[in-house]
């Protein structure tokens, strides 16, 4: 499994670095694909991978991994806001309508979900003290919602990127085709990793998958109240 995870990290770095290098030319528009690729193909991808990796951890190791996840997601959000502003401002400058293409509509959905998902993360991180104030029966559902919304947000972001890559403003011939293939591979690989990784070291027989019906997710009282 380690070689598989390493391959995903290499794919993340390749996509997140090559797209900005090839597309950025100093114009206002070029900031949009540059920052968005850094946000979702780089930082958020690493954040998702970190969230999958800490499922098998306990105690302080789990807390530290969650803190790394928080840093990755914060970096992704900063790039997301910058990329969103760049394209919005660019359309204003050129007098173009907003959110008319499928790429723009999916992108707007991603932007909204990227605001909602971190709120669930803050609420579900026990160190912040918010989760303990919630009804005990509600706590696992908050975590479940955060994990699933986060993964769905990232997958929708990949869809937005796929829709954008054929556009003439960013088209780079065979390189764009290669990016499209790599983005699909990245999404499939991370989704497979999420489905195959159990949620807790003590729950090997009933792993909690990122995309799973809540009723099928079984956990012991101990695993439900673990470090997060």
- Ordered by start, the domain boundaries in the chain are 2-224
What is the domain class of 2-224 according to CATH? mainly alpha
Query: Residue 129: its pLDDT value, please?
Result: 77
pLDDT tens column, 120-166: 888 887 777 778 888 888 888 888 899 999 999 999 999 999 999 99
Query: Residue 200: its pLDDT value, please?
Result: 62
Query: Residue 205: its pLDDT value, please?
Result: 34
Run means of pLDDT, 10 residues per run, the chain, 228 residues: 95 98 98 98 98 91 92 98 98 97 98 94 80 85 91 98 96 97 98 89 38 42 44
Query: Residue 158: its pLDDT value, please?
Result: 99
pTM of the model: 0.85
Query: Residue 143: its pLDDT value, please?
Result: 86
Distance CA 108, CA 160 (A): 9
Query: Residue 213: its pLDDT value, please?
Result: 37
């Amino acid at each position: 499994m380690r070689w598989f995870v390493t391959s995903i990290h290499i794919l993340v770095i390749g996509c997140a670095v090559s797209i900005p290098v090839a597309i950025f030319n100093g114009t206002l528009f070029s900031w949009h694909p540059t920052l968005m690729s850094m946000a979702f193909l780089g930082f958020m991808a690493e954040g998702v991978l970190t969230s999958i990796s800490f499922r098998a951890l306990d105690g302080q190791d789990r807390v530290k991994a969650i803190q790394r996840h928080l840093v990755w997601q914060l970096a992704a959000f900063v790039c997301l806001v910058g990329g969103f502003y760049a394209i919005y401002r660019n359309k204003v400058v050129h007098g173009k309508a907003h959110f008319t293409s499928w790429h723009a509509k999916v992108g707007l959905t991603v932007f909204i979900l990227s605001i909602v998902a971190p709120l669930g993360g803050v609420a579900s991180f026990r160190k912040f003290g918010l989760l303990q104030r919630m009804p005990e029966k509600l706590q696992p559902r908050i975590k479940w919602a955060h994990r699933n919304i986060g993964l769905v947000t990232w997958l929708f972001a990949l869809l937005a990127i796929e829709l954008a890559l054929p556009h003439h403003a960013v088209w780079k011939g065979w390189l764009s085709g290669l990016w499209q293939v790599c983005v699909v591979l990245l999404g499939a690989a991370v989704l497979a990793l999420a489905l195959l990784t159990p949620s807790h070291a003590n729950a090997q027989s009933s792993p909690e998958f990122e995309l799973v019906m809540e009723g099928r997710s079984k956990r012991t009282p101990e695993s439900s109240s673990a470090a997060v």
